[in-house]
Structure 1
Amino acid sequence: MTTALLTAAPTPDIGAVLAASALRPTVVFGCSGPDAQPDGHDQRTKASVARSLADLLELEFGGLHDPAEHAGRPLYVVPGQTLTSLQAARELGIESPDHFFGGVVPHPFVATKLITHPLVRPGAQAPRGWSAAYGEAVRPVVLPGYSVFAPEDARTAAERLLEHGGVRLKNPDGVGGLGQQVIEDMASLEAWLDETDPQALRTHGVVLERNLSQVETLSVGQVRAGRWLASYVGTQSLTRNHRGHEVYGGSTLTVVLGDFEALQQIGLAAPFATAVEQALTYHRAAARCYPGWLATRANYDIAQGLDAQGQWQSGVLEQSWRIGGASGAEVAALHAFKAQPWRRVVRASTHEVYEEDAPVPPGAQVHYDGVDCHVGRVVKYVTVEENEAHADD
């Protein structure tokens, strides 16, 4: 079974198709979201990757999207966040996969961790548009857990999960492990509920999920830009920022030209093969259960580790249908496929280094090198290996 979008056959190169037209689209980056800071390291890195996409497609890069400046012009949009309504996509001129790099979902909660888990019971409180069928479809490929929107449902979820060990409580919008805590007993949950506004819980929800130890986080994803369609599996690394906190340090991806099935055919080691199969189930369910869903960039985080009984577990944690931390490597891989059409597999890596004198290897593409007012100096760069490599090397 194929999805409506990402596993479709590659379409003609958007640059080549429009080469004869005087109205060639301009690539623009949309810095959006309540916490978006155009001058921050995250947004400037994403804007740099958007510029690299423009180079790939041989189109002009128009910088930050300006509704007044770009009105009436055909655009190829790189939203900074998942677009959370079909109307928002239409207002940007997005009518097909050829018009953007990212994702569109029919309801805001679909872009969060909430859809990873079912409700505690049929008819439990949930936002408008909630798909019970989705929760059932992905249950076999995610860790045991629930999404809840009411205090009584949180108690029910915690009671069930605590029978088998610690529970990870997660802010649905948290990024990079932020907004999470582990609860070991009901007293800890009650303390959290005492500090939580019930109305905020009803509005935003929270995720309760089985906690694992000795965790490795894998990334499985797929990107489409112009005539290039590529899929990948890889690992994430952590690093320490200037405050000594562990934060995302980069991703190393094995990228295959083609769809998820092409990725499955390169002889992956068992943990990677499991992660790909789980991500594909999650991915297909989104297209099936949430009409209007579109994504030309999809990334799925899969946690693999031990539960409280010492049993190995693997499950999808969340999705990212927007330009993200691994996108520099994704786009660099597409550039490699364009430059060397005979290549079918490449290894590309992103690196985020919090050092005053961060070394950058020769040949690396730097997407950010500066001092952010919140995190200090950080350097973000991408490397691509010359030789083909597999995920189990």
Structure 2
Amino acid sequence: MNASSADHDLVVLVHSGGQKAARGQHEIETQRALAGQLAALIGVPFGGDIDEARRHAHRYLIPDDTLLLDDARRMGVTREDDLFGGVVPYPFVATKVVAHGLPPGARAKPAGWPDELGDRIGHLVLPGYSVFARDDAHAAAALLWRDGAVRLKRPSGIGGSGQAVIADANQLDAQLDDIGDDALRTEGIVLERDLRDIATYSVGWLCIRAHEASYYGVQHLTRNNHGHDVYGGSDLVVVRGGFDALERLEMPDDARMSIRLARTFDAAIRDTFPDFFASRRNYDVACGTDDQGDHVCGVLEQSWRLGGASGAELGALQAFADDPALAVVRASTVEIYGDDADVPADACISYRGVDPHSGPITKFYTVERSD
């Protein structure tokens, strides 16, 4: 697709240095590969890494993490059409802690914390609290233990990392000692109801210039080269257009519930933080069984940045651009660790190599029509 006359000097650039880049070289190279595909989608050049000393009349930025408002402005990002990702006014808004309120009588909270948000979204998320002090953590855990197991989550863990199920105060203290009081005070943690037989749905919306799509899907795990269960990919049903178009599809009841929870959560965030904006919005929603045997669904976290499903997202948008009559596709991302990855002939590879930290890994995505 050709760029419009207004975009004749537009260039796509990447900015690395966030949580994903810290995970390994494969994240940086994946980001660059997807940036090149996004540039091709909108018909403009890919210019590599951003150099703030070099002036571009128009640039479209792909950061590897959600941007803070001041940093975004410094890099010329002032609206959704300027980036693939999101911009937030405070650091905590980009992490898991924004999905829960504080426990009753909490002593600590970060600057900009909106006390009213927890009440507004409490019915959209799993029972839980965000805490920023050791005493508050113990108070929150004690309340949650009354009804079952409790999961502790560090605020910026990706793909299930940085989590532990805690059964008593000693286990909680051990986790808090490992985190450290300084990190607890500045970043916080989440204490949340732990579920069994869990399915994690992904609900998302993205708009890259004139290209808009929304989707629902499920995530799956894989075993990495160190023997740990980690994110292994997503299987998505993607529609041309926004959430209204998505909800017109036939789908499982839990998928429909997940979309409604994610949409309401998204609206609450936008109302609470007027400076927030994002062109890529992804919400993880858990559906599972609690210790009372009840079926429970709730938003786990948000992702307003390049994510594990972004290859499938961009592949779907390219399919829609190539065929104006196409309305629905199935798109999947896959991450395989080890040397013997079996890649389908029609797959688009985002990364294949040996990462210094993660070892051999292959990432690819596929897109097919949904009839």
The TM-score range, normalised by the shorter chain, is: over 0.9
Shift of the 360–196 alpha-carbon distance from structure 1 to 2, 3 Å rule, reads: closer
Q: Deviations over 1:256-312 (max 9, x none)?
A: 111111111112210100000010011111110012100000111111111111111
Deviation at 1:38, TM superposition (A): 10
**Counterpart among 229, 241, 245 of residue 224 in structure 2:** 241
The residue type paired with residue 80 of structure 1 is: D
Shift of the 108–18 alpha-carbon distance from structure 1 to 2, 3 Å rule, reads: same
Aligned counterparts of 2:103 and 2:333: Cα–Cα separation in 1: 38
| Pairing 1:77–2:23 present | no
Per the alignment, in what secondary structure is the counterpart of residue 324 of structure 1? coil
Written as runs of structure 1 = structure 2, the 5 A alignment for 1:166-177 is 166-177=149-160
Written as runs of structure 1 = structure 2, the 5 A alignment for 1:105-144 is 105-121=88-104, 124-144=107-127
Written as runs of structure 1 = structure 2, the 5 A alignment for 1:161-240 is 161-240=144-223
Which is worse superposed, 183-192 or 52-61? Answer: 183-192
Q: Which residue of 2 aligns with 1:321?
A: 304
Deviation at 1:195, TM superposition (A): 4.7
| Pairing 1:357–2:340 present | yes
Deviation at 1:160, TM superposition (A): 0.6
| Pairing 1:60–2:48 present | no
TM-score normalised by L of structure 1: 0.91
Deviation at 1:41, TM superposition (A): 0.6
The root-mean-square deviation of aligned C-alpha atoms, in Å, is 1.8
The residue type paired with residue 66 of structure 2 is: T
Q: Deviations over 1:93-138 (max 9, x none)?
A: 1122211110000001100000000011266421111112221221
Shift of the 197–353 alpha-carbon distance from structure 1 to 2, 3 Å rule, reads: closer
Q: Deviations over 1:55-99 (max 9, x none)?
A: 00000000121223x324421101111002x22111111122211
Q: Deviations over 1:11-38 (max 9, x none)?
A: xx9922525x4xx110001112267359
Q: Which residue of 2 aligns with 1:388?
A: 370
Shift of the 35–325 alpha-carbon distance from structure 1 to 2, 3 Å rule, reads: closer
Q: Which residue of 2 aligns with 1:16?
A: 4
Shift of the 159–175 alpha-carbon distance from structure 1 to 2, 3 Å rule, reads: same
Aligned counterparts of 2:215 and 2:145: Cα–Cα separation in 1: 35
Q: Which residue of 1 aligns with 2:322?
A: 339
Aligned counterparts of 2:263 and 2:22: Cα–Cα separation in 1: 33
Deviation at 1:191, TM superposition (A): 3.5
**Counterpart among 283, 286, 289 of residue 303 in structure 1:** 286
Structure 2, unmatched stretches of 5+, are none
| Count of residues paired in the alignment | 371
Per the alignment, in what secondary structure is the counterpart of residue 36 of structure 1? helix
Aligned counterparts of 1:227 and 1:34: Cα–Cα separation in 2: 29
Q: Which residue of 1 aligns with 2:31?
A: 46
Q: Which residue of 2 aligns with 1:5?
A: none
TM-score normalised by L of structure 2: 0.96
Q: Is the 8 A contact 1:137 1:285 kept in 2?
A: yes
Q: Deviations over 1:194-247 (max 9, x none)?
A: 555333321121110000111111100111101111110001111111222111
Deviation above 6 Å: which 4+ runs of structure 1?
none
Q: Is the 8 A contact 1:14 1:227 kept in 2?
A: no
Q: Which residue of 2 aligns with 1:8?
A: none
Shift of the 227–373 alpha-carbon distance from structure 1 to 2, 3 Å rule, reads: same
Per the alignment, in what secondary structure is the counterpart of residue 297 of structure 2? strand
Amino-acid identity (%):
45
Q: Is the 8 A contact 1:15 1:226 kept in 2?
A: no
Q: Is the 8 A contact 2:284 2:301 kept in 1?
A: yes
Per the alignment, in what secondary structure is the counterpart of residue 21 of structure 2? coil
Aligned counterparts of 1:384 and 1:242: Cα–Cα separation in 2: 27
Aligned counterparts of 2:51 and 2:114: Cα–Cα separation in 1: 35
Shift of the 275–376 alpha-carbon distance from structure 1 to 2, 3 Å rule, reads: same
